[in-house]
């Protein structure tokens, strides 16, 4: 059902957690729940697990298409600070009303179970409604009374389910926004570039251009992460790179200086498309295309 042999638990203790960002760190708080709220959250979690019928492997360039979810290992959770904070569960401090009113929440999560037999059901959305309004009221016995406590509202969909060894992605955009686009993750872009440059040598200044591009451009950051994970990057030679550039109708002299790749603000997208094997020609028309997303065909 889920794509691995370990069932996702929806039994055991349930904690509701909210989280916000503080610089590169994530701050989590526990929110006490009554029996009816807990039953509803558990029911939503059970429905989410039951929906996991048709998985596909996750990659930064894979769309959900007709599958029910994508499956990834926990290494794809680049923002480890947020994951670790959410898994603290009952050991987190209780949220105060002031925190719930003033903090911009990244997400909320239901943590179910204990230890290795636990699962996080995560939603990239604040459950608190109308907290920023100067006055909120409700009609009670025909009279409008002011409400002083934050109002919580939950829908019945989760964006991701996380266990200790697997990630089930139901909403790819929300998942990546939470765990792959945070300030903590963006602080690592230069390390990624340096790692790739050990296999693909670059001219002076090229790594700086690429690093700056990855920090500001979400689309190209996804593409670079796909490149970084491709096995052929680790075995590529200057000659094979020249041949690939030439095969797509471009001049290697414009993208390489001797055996080093040259990246600038003008060609950075094209370079990533070549490295990621995104360029192709139509078999009938011979028209040239660039794939925006793709997945392996078995």
SS (H, E, C) 112-152: EEECCEEEEEEECCCCEECCCCCCCEEEECCEEEECCCCEE
Residue 244 makes CB contacts below 8 A (sequence gap 6+) with 274
In contact, 261 and 253? CB cutoff 8 Å: no
Structure tokens at 277: 């094997």
Tokens 């690429």 belong to: 210
Tokens 């040239």 belong to: 288
Alpha-carbon dihedral sign for residues 166, 55, 45, 100: positive
Structure tokens at 249: 């109708």
Q: What is the DSSP letter of 38?
A: H
Strand, coil or helix: what is 234? helix
The model's pTM: 0.84
Structure tokens at 147: 């409400």
Chain centre to alpha carbon of residue 250: 34
pLDDT in tens, the chain (298 residues): 444 556 899 999 999 999 999 988 999 999 999 999 999 999 999 999 999 999 999 998 888 888 999 999 998 998 899 999 999 999 999 999 999 989 999 999 999 999 889 999 999 999 987 555 656 666 667 677 776 678 888 989 999 999 999 999 999 999 999 999 888 899 999 999 999 999 999 999 999 999 999 999 999 999 999 999 999 999 999 999 999 999 999 999 999 999 999 999 999 999 999 999 999 888 888 788 888 777 776 6
In contact, 94 and 29? CB cutoff 8 Å: yes
Residue 166 makes CB contacts below 8 A (sequence gap 6+) with 2, 3, 4, 6, 71, 72, 73, 74
């Amino acid at each position: 059902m889920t794509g691995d042999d370990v069932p996702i638990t929806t039994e055991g203790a349930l904690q509701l957690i909210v989280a916000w960002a503080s610089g590169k760190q994530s701050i989590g708080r526990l929110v006490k729940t009554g029996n009816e709220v807990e039953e509803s959250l558990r029911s939503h979690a059970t429905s989410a697990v039951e929906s996991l019928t048709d998985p596909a492997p996750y990659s930064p360039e894979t769309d959900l298409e007709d599958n029910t979810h994508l499956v990834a290992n926990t290494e794809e959770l680049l923002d480890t600070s947020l994951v670790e904070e959410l898994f603290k569960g009952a050991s987190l401090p209780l949220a105060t009303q002031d925190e719930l009113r003033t903090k911009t929440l990244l997400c909320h999560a239901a943590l179910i179970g204990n230890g290795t037999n636990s699962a996080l059901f995560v939603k990239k959305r604040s459950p608190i409604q109308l907290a920023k309004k100067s006055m909120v009221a409700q009609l009670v016995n025909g009279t409008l009374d002011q409400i002083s406590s934050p109002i919580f509202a939950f829908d019945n969909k989760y964006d991701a389910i996380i266990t200790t060894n697997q990630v089930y992605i139901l909403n790819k955009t929300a998942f990546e926004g939470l765990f792959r686009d945070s300030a903590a993750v963006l602080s690592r872009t230069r390390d990624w570039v340096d790692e790739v440059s050990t296999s693909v040598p670059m001219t002076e200044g090229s790594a700086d251009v690429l690093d700056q591009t990855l920090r500001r451009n979400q689309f190209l950051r996804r593409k670079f992460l796909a490149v970084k994970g491709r096995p052929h990057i680790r075995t590529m030679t200057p000659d094979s790179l020249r041949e690939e550039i030439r095969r797509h109708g471009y001049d290697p002299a414009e993208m390489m200086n001797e055996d080093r790749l040259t990246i600038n603000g003008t060609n950075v997208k094209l370079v990533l498309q070549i490295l990621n094997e995104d360029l192709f020609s139509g078999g009938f028309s011979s028209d040239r295309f660039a794939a925006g997303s793709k997945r392996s065909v078995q």
